[in-house]
Amino acid sequence: EDQVTQSPEALRLQEGESSSLNCSYTVSGLRGLFWYRQDPGKGPEFLFTLYSAGEEKEKERLKATLTKKESFLHITAPKPEDSATYLCAVQGEPGNTGKLIFGQGTTLQVKP
């Protein structure tokens, strides 16, 4: 059964204190791994899609990496506006349904 586990559940950082969020996955044939940011009461906002082990993508202070078993979302010198819940999802083969399997998310709080 496809499964996604995110850790930690919650993370508190001081502004400027870099850290990483983990997403471990089990999927029968990875079609894609997705990172989203979700603010309270809002829909998830797309951040990155990763397709194969070794792939990396960056956006401002965020960098996502992918291995065969997990993905990391690295946050460099975070700011208070980076506070949000970060969701990881995977899509396995066959991909005709487009079904995403989501983790529970990591809630990040960045204090000034």
Partner 1 sequence: SQTIHQWPATLVQPVGSPLSLECTVEGTSNPNLYWYRQAAGRGLQLLFYSVGIGQISSEVPQNLSASRPQDRQFILSSKKLLLSDSGFYLCAWSPRGGTDTQYFGPGTRLTVL
Q: Under the rule (CB under 8 A), what is the footprint of partner 1?
A: 4, 31-32, 34, 36, 41-46, 49, 87, 89, 91, 95, 97-100, 102-105
* Residue number, 43 or 54, with CB nearest to partner 1: 43
CB of 49 to partner 1, least distance (A): 5
**CA 62 to chain CA mean position, Å:** 10
Whole-angstrom distance, CA of residue 75 vs CA of residue 73:
6
Smaller CB separation from partner 1, 44 or 78: 44
Q: Quote the CA–CA distance of 32 and 39 in Å, as a whole number.
A: 23
Nearer to partner 1, 71 or 91 (CB): 91
Residue 16 Cβ, how far from partner 1 at the closest point, in Å?
Answer: 30
Q: State the Cα–Cα distance between residues 19 and 16, nearest whole angstrom.
A: 10
CA–chain centroid gap for 96, Å, is 23
